[in-house]
C-alpha cells in the first residue's frame, strides 16, 4: 500500500484519488478551499466537479500543503496548468530530494514556453518528475469505465513502479514510455485542436469537418512535437491521437465545449465562464503559436484558433481560411515515381 498526496482537488485529481484508493492505497488530497476539503471529508464526494462519484474512506482532504506533501511515496500534481508553477513554489519547502511527482495536467506556460515537467524541475530541482497522459476523462474514470493511459518517466524502473500503482485490471490499463516530452506536448497541443473541433460543431459543420481537423491536427502536433524532441510514435499513440480523438469529440471535454460556444458566437471568456472550468486550450494556444514560429513549423489550425480567440476573427472565417489555403501535398515525406 502506498501513501499518495494529490495536489489539486479538481475532477481529475478526485478521479485519480478514487482509482488509487480502489487499488488499496491511502490518498490525501490538497485543496486551497476549506469548504471543498470539508465537502470531501464529510460527504465523501466532490459534488461540484465530480458528482456521483463516491470517494472511499481511504481518501482524506486537507488545506495543509505540508501534510499533503510529506511522508508520501509519491505525489500527483493535478492543479490546472496555469497554477502549476505557483503551487510548486509553495510546495518547495516540503518536497524532499528524490520525491517522485507525477504531472497529470496538460499545458504549456505562455511566458516561458516550458512544459509542466520542465516547470516542476525548475521549481523542485531535487524531485523526480514523471507524467501520466492519454484519453481519460475524469467523469468516466470516476465511474470505472475501461480506460487506457500512458505513464512516462526518465527511468524505466520509475515508469514500471507507477504502472503498478495506477493499473487496475478491471478498468484502468497503463502503458509505459520514456518520451515524457512528446507526451506532454501531445497533451497540450491537442487542447488547441479540440477548441477548433468544438468551434466547427458550434457552426453546424459535419463529421467530414471534424475528421479533417483531427487528422490535420495530429499532423500539426507531430511536426512541432518531433521538432521539439518528442518521438513520432508518441503522437501516434494514446498521448497523441488517442487523447486528440476523445478531446475533440466528447461532451465531457471542456475544450470542445468551450469551442462549441465560441462557434456559436461567444467570446473565449464567455465560453470559459459558462463551462465553469479552466479551459487549457485557451492558455496553450498562444504558446503553441509561439513555439511554431520559433521552430519554423507550419500550424495553420493553431494559427486560426489564435486569430479567433485573440484577434477578432469569426469562427466561420477561421474555417474558411483553412479551406482556402494554397494547394499542397498531404505528406511531404512521400515522393513521386514520376
The catalytic residue positions are: 190
Give burial (CB, 10 Å; 0-12/13-18/19+) of 81: buried
Burial class (CB in 10 A: 0-12, 13-18, 19+), 143: middle
Q: How far apart are CA 174 and CA 154, in angstroms?
A: 16
Contact between 259 and 195 under an 8 Å Cβ cutoff? The reply is yes
Q: 30 phi and psi, to 5 degrees? A: -95, 130
* Beta carbons of 251 and 197 less than 8 angstroms apart: no
Contact call for residues 8 and 78 (beta carbons, < 8 A): yes
From residue 245, give the alpha-carbon distance in Å to each of 56, 75, 97, 150, 288.
31, 28, 38, 16, 19
Distance CA 166, CA 120 (A): 21
How many C-beta neighbours within 10 Å does residue 183 have?
34
How many H-runs (helices) and E-runs (strands) does the chain carry? 16, 8
Cell digits of residue 211: 475528421
By the 8 A CB rule, do 100 and 128 touch? yes
DSSP β-bridge partners for residue 159: none
Grid cell for residue 139: 467523469
Alpha helices, H only, 250-279: 254-263, 268-275
How far apart are the two ends of the chain, measured CA to CA in Å?
Answer: 63
DSSP 229: T
Amino acid at each position: 500500500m502506498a501513501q499518495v498526496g494529490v495536489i489539486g482537488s479538481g475532477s481529475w485529481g478526485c478521479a485519480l484519488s478514487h482509482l488509487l484508493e480502489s487499488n488499496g492505497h491511502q490518498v490525501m488530497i490538497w485543496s486551497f478551499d476549506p469548504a471543498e476539503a470539508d465537502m470531501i471529508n464529510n460527504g465523501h464526494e466532490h459534488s461540484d466537479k465530480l458528482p456521483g462519484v463516491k470517494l472511499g474512506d481511504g481518501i482524506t482532504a486537507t488545506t495543509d500543503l505540508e501534510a499533503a506533501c510529506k511522508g508520501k511515496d509519491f505525489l500527483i500534481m493535478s492543479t490546472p496548468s496555469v497554477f502549476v508553477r505557483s503551487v510548486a513554489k509553495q510546495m518547495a519547502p516540503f518536497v524532499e530530494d528524490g520525491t517522485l511527482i507525477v504531472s497529470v495536467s496538460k499545458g504549456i506556460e505562455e511566458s516561458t514556453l516550458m512544459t509542466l515537467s520542465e516547470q516542476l524541475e525548475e521549481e523542485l530541482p531535487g524531485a523526480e518528475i514523471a507524467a501520466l497522459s492519454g484519453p481519460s476523462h475524469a467523469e468516466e474514470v470516476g465511474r470505472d469505465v475501461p480506460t487506457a493511459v500512458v505513464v512516462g518517466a526518465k527511468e524505466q524502473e520509475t515508469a514500471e513502479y507507477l504502472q503498478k500503482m495506477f493499473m487496475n485490471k478491471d478498468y484502468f490499463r497503463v502503458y509505459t514510455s520514456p518520451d515524457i516530452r512528446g507526451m506532454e506536448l501531445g497533451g497540450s497541443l491537442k487542447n488547441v485542436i479540440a477548441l477548433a473541433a468544438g468551434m466547427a460543431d458550434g457552426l453546424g459543420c459535419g463529421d467530414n469537418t471534424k475528421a479533417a481537423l483531427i487528422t490535420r491536427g495530429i499532423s500539426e502536433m507531430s511536426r512541432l512535437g518531433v521538432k521539439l524532441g518528442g518521438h513520432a510514435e508518441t503522437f501516434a499513440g494514446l498521448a497523441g491521437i488517442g487523447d486528440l480523438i476523445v478531446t475533440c469529440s466528447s461532451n465531457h471535454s471542456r475544450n470542445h465545449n468551450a469551442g462549441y460556444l465560441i462557434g456559436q458566437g461567444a467570446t473565449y471568456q464567455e465560453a470559459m465562464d459558462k463551462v465553469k472550468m479552466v479551459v487549457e486550450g485557451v492558455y496553450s494556444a498562444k504558446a503553441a503559436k509561439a513555439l511554431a514560429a520559433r521552430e519554423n513549423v507550419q500550424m495553420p489550425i493553431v494559427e486560426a484558433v489564435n486569430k479567433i480567440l485573440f484577434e477578432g476573427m469569426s469562427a466561420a472565417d477561421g474555417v474558411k481560411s483553412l479551406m482556402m489555403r494554397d494547394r499542397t501535398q498531404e505528406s511531404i515525406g512521400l515522393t513521386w515515381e514520376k
